[in-house]
Amino acid sequence: MSNKLRRLNPKQAEAVKNIGNPLLVLAGAGSGKTSVITEKIAYLLRDCEYDPASVIAVTFTNKAAREMRERITKMLGEEYTSGLTVSTFHTLGLKIIHSELKNLPYQRGFTIYDSEDSINLVKEVLRIEKVSPDFADQFRWQISTWKNAMISYEQALEMAENDLQAQAARIYKAYDDYLKVYNAVDFDDLIVVPVNLFLQNPEALERWQNKTRYLLVDEYQDTNACQYTLVKQLVGIRAAFTVVGDDDQSIYAWRGAQPENLRLLVSDFPTLQVVKLEQNYRSLGRILKVANHIIANNDHIFDKKLWSDKGYGEPLKVVACDDPDHEAQKVVTEMLHKKFIEQATYNDFAVLFRGNHQVRTFEKAMRAHRIPYKVSGSFSFFSLAEIKDLMCYMRLVVNPHDDAAFLRVINTPRREIGAKTVELLRNFADDKMLSLHQVIIDHDVSKVLPARSASRIKEFAQWLKDISTRSKTDAGDIILRDIIRDVGYESYLTDSCKDIVSARKRMENVKDLIDWVKSIEGENGERTLDHQIAHLSLLDLLEKNEDEEESDKVQLITLHSSKGLEFPHVYMVGMEEELLPHVASMDEDGIEEERRLAYVGITRAQKTLTMSFSKRRRVGAEIVERKPSRFLLEMPQDELEWEGYNENKDPAKVRERGKAHLANLKNILG
């Protein structure tokens, strides 16, 4: 056994060394799955002498992929890892699309639509179909659901049970037709397109199966139907793979995740072996006992029971509060007390909540007590207006058929091309089923536009043609600087900002973008704008909700976003019926997913866990009485200490708690 493997426990080492069969590693919370994946990649490259270019590791976030690659490179060095693919599913999909472009109906420089672009395109389709844009979100969600389930619009139309469903299918087709006209793909297409390519092109499939000697997949329980199909396609009959997952942490059904993919592995790969990682390296024993107890109420594909050798720990607290304001004050007060007693830092603490609407009350309490905090996902560099403007300019330069980008920049900065002109141009393009760029290039727009507007449109088209030509040879950062200069963007920022300080700050953001573009190189060292904008567009999509700031702040984070994280001290708030479990999840499947969500929250805690709920909460215009979550009542009650709810008033216990509190005060005071 390699010296490296001696750091692993027997089950972890078994998972690493098993390469002769398809393998499922059932990895409980805090069981060291990342170590297993990275050690296994190292084992394949170092001990088994696999070519790095033949090993692919896939996960769900850009951050996780980056950290995994960094760990492997630190372990082995660049000589072992050059050519290794460690990426998200969507980044891998983009790589396949770029590699197989000649076999796909897209041109070089295709655009990747983000959620805003997709919604706007759906709205455009709805406008043409004379359907209210108020339903755009629902239609976009339905289209995404169909794509992830590998349901074509023909199948969707055939499955329709009423006029509304049939209409959704028609909108789905029109939406996809327009994407092709605009030489664009949406986020879901980054998986759907490779899957469909492999279904229709055996040569391309064989090419990628030969490239994929071994495949590793992290967070496998979060895969949807389309992602699982891609996995099966890449591994083929060789079935050389390891997937790591935990059905107890499957909490993303709402975005298409299918925990039953774990069950499908058994039938699809009869020689599948299962290794269970049950030793937890994160939490104290009492926390794990409560977690095991609650999750045992769910049906299981595979049984497991987490355990720890870290000691047992203090009882878990359950605090009943009068209302959300009282709850926030209780949490903040206890947090400050614990911070002082244990000499903890603020980033040792996390407040976990079911819905974003809960966070404002806690923000208010944190500010009142001058506690620094961070709301997870509250900032995105790519959401800044100046960055979105310039990203759209770059997208348009590499793909002039990108109507979403065209519409954002055509009058930014102002070119005296008004909304009426744009509307006339859009209607003309819709009638011809062409992109806006095709219309202004191939048609005499002076016939449908006022002369002055037509002239300005033509000027813009000529500029776009010139700079698009230069972008094929000049470096991307040079092209971006040219865009900023040509359109007078710095002057525009100065004029549109309320003061010079704001303008200067926004221009600093622009300079950061230029530096970022300059730093991006393609696989063959090219620095052309088409490769750079594709990289940035995907990064935007993958990291919209990732704030890289490292500082001493309390984390305010949803239960969904907390997965994969850990904190010494955790507060799970709003543990009430109709909030956790959520009122919209009261059927059997919904309750099981909500219970898994509670399980994820509990297993984030390393040392202490405090759970709280409000006895009363405003719902709409009414104040309603609330009951504690059923999940609190499912927990082993002898492991809990309740406060403020059916509290035991035994005088001896009151005196005991009083003495303990007095002793703590004496310790504080020396």
pLDDT per residue as tens digits for the range 354-400:
988 888 889 888 888 888 888 875 455 677 788 889 999 999 998 98
Q: Left (φ > 0), alpha (ψ -120 to 50) or beta: where does 109 sit?
A: left
The DSSP string of 298-317 is S--SS----B-SS---PPEE
Mean pLDDT of 435-449: 79
Percent of the chain with pLDDT over 90: 43
Mean pLDDT of 41-70: 89
The catalytic position among 39, 124, 218, 477 is 218
**pLDDT at 569 (0 to 100):** 96
Model pLDDT for residues 624-669, shown as the tens digit of each residue: 899 999 999 999 999 999 998 764 444 444 445 445 544 554 454 4
Beta strand pairing call for 273-277 and 111-113: unpaired
In this predicted structure, the answer to whether residue 304 has a pLDDT above a threshold of 90 is: no
- Residues 6 or more apart in contact with residue 73 via CB below 8 angstroms: 81
**pLDDT at 454 (0 to 100):** 80
Report the C-alpha gap between 506 and 107 in whole angstroms: 33
Mean pLDDT of 318-327: 93
Mean pLDDT of 318-330: 93
How many of the other CB atoms lie within 10 Å of CB of 163? Answer: 8
Model pLDDT for residues 293-303, shown as the tens digit of each residue: 999 998 887 88
Report the C-alpha gap between 395 and 399 in whole angstroms: 6
Q: How many CA atoms lie within 13 A of 79 on its CB side?
A: 2
Q: Is 403 a catalytic residue?
A: no
The catalytic position among 4, 14, 34, 438 is 34
Model pLDDT for residues 467-497, shown as the tens digit of each residue: 999 988 888 889 999 999 998 998 888 887 7
Q: Is 249 a catalytic residue?
A: yes
Report the C-alpha gap between 134 and 154 in whole angstroms: 25
CB 43 within 8 A of CB 294: no
The catalytic position among 604, 607, 626, 630 is 604
Q: Is 604 a catalytic residue?
A: yes
Separation in Å, CA 450 to CA 39, 80, 162, 432: 66, 63, 44, 20
Token code pair at residue 631: 């999940």
Q: Is 200 a catalytic residue?
A: no
Report the C-alpha gap between 436 and 422 in whole angstroms: 10
The catalytic position among 12, 85, 242, 249 is 249
**pLDDT at 268 (0 to 100):** 92
Q: Is 452 a catalytic residue?
A: no
Q: Is 91 a catalytic residue?
A: no
Residue 241's DSSP bridge partners are 215
The catalytic position among 114, 189, 219, 389 is 219
> Which of 199, 203, 257, 255 lies closest to 232, judged by CA?
199
Model pLDDT for residues 68-79, shown as the tens digit of each residue: 888 888 888 877
Mean pLDDT for the chain overall: 85
> Which of 426, 351, 561, 334 lies closest to 128, judged by CA?
426
**pLDDT at 542 (0 to 100):** 64
The catalytic position among 33, 123, 456, 563 is 33
**pLDDT at 546 (0 to 100):** 47
Radius of gyration over every alpha carbon of the chain, rounded to an integer in angstroms: 28
